[in-house]
């Protein structure tokens, strides 16, 4: 059984002893109930992982001794998913699945046909939920690099991201090209745009294609917006050699 992963600052991981406190310490001590002699990994979310052994309790958490450290290179090619904001808790579900699969950056997109509107305090709370979901899913899936969850993007901003990517696709169920057969670059950013429940508008689709995106379909079935991003990312990760 692989040891659990917790998060701490890089400066903490450079010391011989790591003290997990706060929410991470409470989780390690009270939820995971780690005991002296048990293994645990502590990561900084930016590639550094410390392999540790629990030595005993500390104020509000646990004390761990570092046995070894390793630096995990930033993944390449990187995968970005532009996710149209879904209704209810399907946004957090999408973020959780994409993080577990291995997506490197998640961009909430305020598409024209999105039902939720992220404005003011509500938008801040929703974005915070997405970021917390990504953090917890990254720990569960033992990721050395936390995925970035950006500020919400407009269609214009998405077009800019498409123009800067090494390869960009827009998922459309009636597209002639299958994502599984699209030629991919060996390095750089692979970007996928996932539309809302009501679909991408003609204007959005035209703007994205003008920016350099290719319309692609996943397969014979139509997936929910909350699962399409994870499935598309899995295809790209497999075909790019990261899986």
Which domains occur in the chain, in start order? Answer: 5-71 (2.40.240.20), 78-240 (3.40.1280.10)
User: What does the angle CA 235 – CA 190 – CA 48 come to, to the nearest 5 degrees?
Assistant: 95
- Which one is predicted more confidently, 155 or 219? 155
Cα gap 65→104, rounded to integer Å: 30
pLDDT of residue 58: 87
Average pLDDT over residues 185-194: 97
Give the residue from 225, 139, 213 showing the smallest Cα distance to 170: 213
- Before 62, cis peptide (omega within 30)? no
Q: Is omega for the bond preceding 28 within 30 degrees of 0, making it cis?
A: no
E-only strand ranges, 98-176: 105-109, 148-149, 167-171
Tell me what pLDDT residue 97 has.
98
Indicate if the pLDDT at residue 60 is higher than 80: no
Residues 6+ apart with CB under 8 A from 224: 86, 90, 197
pTM of the model: 0.94
Q: How confident is the model at residue 193 (pLDDT cuts 50, 70, 90)?
A: very high
Q: What is the pLDDT of residues 77-109, one digit of tens each?
A: 999 999 999 998 999 999 999 999 999 999 999
Instruction: Label residue 156 left, alpha or beta by phi (over 0 means left) and psi (-120 to 50 means alpha).
Output: alpha
Backbone angles phi, psi at 59, to 5 degrees: -60, 115
pLDDT score recorded for residue 192: 98
Give the mean model confidence (pLDDT) for residues 191-219. 96
């Amino acid at each position: 059984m692989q040891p659990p992963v917790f998060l701490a600052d890089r400066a903490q991981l450079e010391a011989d002893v790591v003290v997990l406190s706060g929410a991470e310490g409470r989780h390690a001590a009270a939820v995971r109930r780690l005991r002296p002699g048990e293994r645990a990994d502590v990561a900084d979310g930016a590639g550094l992982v410390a392999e540790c052994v629990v030595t005993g309790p500390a104020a509000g958490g646990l004390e761990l001794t570092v046995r070894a450290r390793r630096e995990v290179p930033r993944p390449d090619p990187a995968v970005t998913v532009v996710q149209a904001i879904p209704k209810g808790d399907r946004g957090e579900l999408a973020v959780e699945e994409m993080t577990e699969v291995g997506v490197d950056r998640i961009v909430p997109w305020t598409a024209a046909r999105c039902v939720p509107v992220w404005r003011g305090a509500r938008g801040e709370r929703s974005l915070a939920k997405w970021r917390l979901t990504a953090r917890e899913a990254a720990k569960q899936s033992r990721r050395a690099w936390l995925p970035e969850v950006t500020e919400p993007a407009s269609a214009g901003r998405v077009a800019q991201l498409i123009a800067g990517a090494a390869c960009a696709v827009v998922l459309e169920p009636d597209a002639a090209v299958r994502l599984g057969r699209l030629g991919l670059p060996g390095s750089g950013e692979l970007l996928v745009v996932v539309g809302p429940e009501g679909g991408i508008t003609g204007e959005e689709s035209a703007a994205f294609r003008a920016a350099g995106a290719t319309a692609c379909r996943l397969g014979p079935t139509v997936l929910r917006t909350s699962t399409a991003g994870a499935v598309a990312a899995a295809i790209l990760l497999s075909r790019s050699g990261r899986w």
